[in-house]
Structure formats: C-alpha cells, structure tokens
Amino acid sequence: MSAPDVAEKLTSLAKRRGFVFPSSEIYGGAGATWDFGPLGVELKNNVKRAWWRDMVQLREDIVGLDGAILMHPKVWEASGHVENFTDPLVECGNCRKRYRLDELPDGERLTEAWRAKTLDLASTACPNCGQKKLSEPRRFNLMFKTFVGPVEDTASVAWLRPETAQSIFVDFENVQQSSRKRIPFGIAQIGKAFRNEITPGNFIFRSREFEQMEMQYFTRPEDAPRVFEEWKARRREWHASLGIPAERLRFRDHAADERAHYAAAATDIQFEFPFGWQEMEGIHNRTDYDLRRHSEFSGKDLSYRDDVTNEKFIPYVVETSVGADRATYAFLCAAYDEEPDKEGVRVVLRLHRALAPYKVAVLPLSKNERLTPLAREVWAAVRPHAMSTYDETQAIGRRYRRQDEIGTPLCVTVDFDSLEDRAVTIRDRDSMAQVRVPIAELVPALQERLGA
C-alpha cells in the first residue's frame, strides 16, 4: 500500500463513516473548511481531552484559559501580525493561478533567494500552464479581516485570530494574579484559529479554519533555552504515547532566517504524513517579545515581580503549539492499516484506545427478537462507563469489520448461549482474540482492557 493511497483511502473513509465532511458541501464546498461528523467530533474531542489532561490536569504548574476569538485590533499590531504575518504570493500572468513561493518547484531555494533579495523568476515555469510568466512575490497577509458594529471603516476593523496565543499574553497578569502562580508556570488554551491560506490542502492538514492547542510557559530569561529543550522532548513523547510510531516523528530546527518574527529559537515536530514529512507541532522560544510589545502598545506594564527576591523582569515564553485537526489527521494516518483476510482485506484503524471514537460496540449475534432485549440491556449497562454503540444489522463478521474500520477497540457479542449462561464474548480489535465473561463482570472487564 503506497503512502498516497493511504491519504486517498482515509479521505474516503472519513467521509463514508462520518469522520470529516467538506463544509457546505451541497453548495460545492467553502474552500478548505471542514465539518467533523459524529465520529470525527468524538475523535477530535478525545485528542483535545488527552492534550488538556497532559498539559493542565496532570500538572501543578499549568492552568487553562478560554479567550475570545475577537480581540482589540491593537493586539495584532502589538503582536506583529499586521506587519509580518504574511506569505510571499506569486501569480501566473497567463493562467492566473496563485502559489506560495515555497510551493513552486525548487521552492526552498527560491525562498532563500527571495530572502536574500536575489530572486529571479524569469526562468521558472508555472506548474499549471507551463508559461514563464510568474510575477514578483508580493506579501499577502493571512489574517481574515472583519468589522465590529454596523460601520465598515478603519476604526471598526477586527481580525479573526490567526493563533490562540495572544489572549494568553494579554491575560497574563489576570491569570497570574488570580491563580497566584509563580514563575515558572504555564497557561494552556484550546481554540479556533483562522488563516486565509493561499494554498490550503491535503485534506484537514492545512485549512482556513482550524483549532490550536497552545501552551505558553513563562520562565526566567536565563532558563528559557533549557525549558525549550525540555518541552521539545516532552511534546514528542506525548505524540508517541498516543500511538504515533517513533520512526514517524522527528525534529526540524528552524534556521535564523526562517523563524517567525517573534521566535529566537524554533523547532517543528514533524510527522511523516502520506505526502511527506511535515510540521505537526511548533515549539518556540518567543523570548519576552510578546509581553514587552503588549506592555508598550497598551501602556500596561506586564513585568513580573518575584515576591521572594523582589526582582522585576519581563518573563520569557516557551510555546508549544499543535493543531488539533492536524494532530487528529496524523493519528488517523498512523492508525490506518490493512491486512489480508478470508474476505479479502480487513481495514483496521489501530487508534489508541484513549482516542477511539467508540470504545465498545455491543452486537447481538443476529437480529433476533430473543437476543435484542438482552443485547440492549447489556448496552445500557455499558453506556455510562464507556462511549459505545450498538449494531444489529447484517452478518456478525461484517459488523466486526465495520467496527475495525472506525477503530473500536472492543466488541461485545451477545449470542444464544448468553440467554442461558448470562455471559457474553469480548472481541479485541487488534488481536481478534475472544474471551467469554459473565455479564455481571462485563463492565470491570471492559474497563481493565480499556485502561479506564
């Protein structure tokens, strides 16, 4: 099975089984925005829950925040996004197709030449029409602009946030004082972000509306390089702990001339997607850039005073930032598997049990009026303890395959013997091993297997 095949098969499975649909599909789609269907919302919520648990609930030094999407427009001037959050955009004079410079063939070299102000595109052909009529790159700001209130003038401009991080900086003092945290400590947030990407694509990998899971860790300036290394390791471990094979994860350090305007050091955690190695998460040493700029632009001093030493300083920030949609896609790619079986091919999503949309499927052996009441009774007993589903249509083998394909780790089968012995069979997705357990002991038996 080739890698591009996996991408294609996943896109089709995602639609067919209710993970992800193109947004506004009946109108022809809305341009790189996606809707998460019944299974997709469970999966993405599980990804977010796993992140929140690891980054907030299990830590004594990190607290959460849920900031507003619409913020004062000065926030984006202070943050540097109005001036710097741009991509170089090239347009073909013949077919009018637009590209990000780095997407053209040999894009890395072209981008380097552009940064060095030595770029010449005269001999570069448009990948679409083949004509050598590409324009000089112009800077294109990726933020979506809107207006607050009824008047569309410069005084009412608002931006849809392109990252969640800024409300963490703007609320730094409120959070620090209300939670009485002392440096070092972190603030974590999950929320929507919007970017008017020139060339979105690769399914949910790059879209115009997505969710970020970001954490800003406030440190003493001298500690930031060490903290940066610690977070790199910890975040890579998190992805691996949820089922991404170690050999499909790697770091890519950014050179000085490619870092975001706020970063003194930056590393991507890359995942080997079916279309190649790509950024899944960014770790940045943002220095005191953001707090200093917000102090300057708002007139509010965001320095921190150590109440023991009485020192006053602007903290440095180490940021971890991962897309919830992009990570969800990576988990799907890593989980997708096919193996030969007597009916042809068994498709299995080997999702980590913490991420699987359904943990348990309850299946009567057949749709039979004697089995249904007991099977539904079993499902009712399981439901409060594990996200579960029930399926009684078609042959049992087919139904196992349907659950394998959406990653359900455990199936519980109610058969005719169950009516006599009050026992059911638990079937494991990965090994397909089956074990018989009394209904009275089913819930703890499932919990043990699910690690709940």
> Which residue ranges make up the site for ligand GAP (CB under 6 A)?
163, 165, 195, 197, 206-207, 210, 212, 214, 279-282, 319, 321-323, 325-326
- Of 428, 426, 421, 427, the C-alpha closest to 443 is 426
Cα distance between residue 363 and residue 125, in whole Å: 58
Q: Which is nearer to ligand GAP, 173 or 197 (CB)?
A: 197
Quote the tokens at residue 411.
């199936």
Helix (H, G, I), strand (E, B) or coil at 406: coil
Omega of the bond leading into 184 within 30 degrees of 0 (cis): yes
Nearest distance from C-beta of residue 317 to ligand GAP, angstroms: 10
Q: Which is nearer to ligand GAP, 176 or 207 (CB)?
A: 207
Q: Which is nearer to ligand GAP, 93 or 201 (CB)?
A: 201
Residues 6+ apart with CB under 8 A from 105: 124, 127
Quote the tokens at residue 8.
């294609």
Cα separations in angstroms, 429 against 133, 334, 348, 426, 434 = 55, 16, 8, 10, 10
Nearest distance from C-beta of residue 22 to ligand GAP, angstroms: 15
Burial degree of 150 (CB within 10 A; 0-12, 13-18, 19+): exposed
Q: Which residues pair with 234 in a beta bridge?
A: none
Q: Which is nearer to ligand GAP, 195 or 399 (CB)?
A: 195
Nearest distance from C-beta of residue 405 to ligand GAP, angstroms: 25
Q: Which is nearer to ligand GAP, 325 or 415 (CB)?
A: 325
Nearest distance from C-beta of residue 426 to ligand GAP, angstroms: 36
Nearest distance from C-beta of residue 253 to ligand GAP, angstroms: 14
Is residue 194 a contact partner of residue 207, using CB atoms and an 8 Å limit? no
Q: Which is nearer to ligand GAP, 165 or 348 (CB)?
A: 165
Nearest distance from C-beta of residue 16 to ligand GAP, angstroms: 23
Nearest distance from C-beta of residue 245 to ligand GAP, angstroms: 19
Q: Which is nearer to ligand GAP, 285 or 413 (CB)?
A: 285
Helix (H, G, I), strand (E, B) or coil at 414: strand
Q: What angle do CA 109, 114, 119 make, to 5 degrees?
A: 80
Q: Give 427-448 as a DSSP string.
A: EETTT--EEEEEGGGHHHHHHH
CA neighbours within 13 Å on the CB side: how many for 275?
13
Nearest distance from C-beta of residue 430 to ligand GAP, angstroms: 28
Nearest distance from C-beta of residue 9 to ligand GAP, angstroms: 21
Q: Which is nearer to ligand GAP, 42 or 163 (CB)?
A: 163
Nearest distance from C-beta of residue 78 to ligand GAP, angstroms: 15
Cα distance between residue 78 and residue 81, in whole Å: 8
Nearest distance from C-beta of residue 321 to ligand GAP, angstroms: 4
- Of 6, 33, 46, 29, the C-alpha closest to 324 is 46
Q: What angle do CA 334, 336, 339 make, to 5 degrees?
A: 130
Q: Which is nearer to ligand GAP, 198 or 347 (CB)?
A: 198
Residue with nearest beta carbon to ligand GAP: 323
Cα distance between residue 187 and residue 415, in whole Å: 51
Cα distance between residue 24 and residue 253, in whole Å: 38
Beta strands at 145-147 and 138-141: parallel, antiparallel or unpaired: unpaired
Question: Which amino acid makes up residue 162?
Answer: P
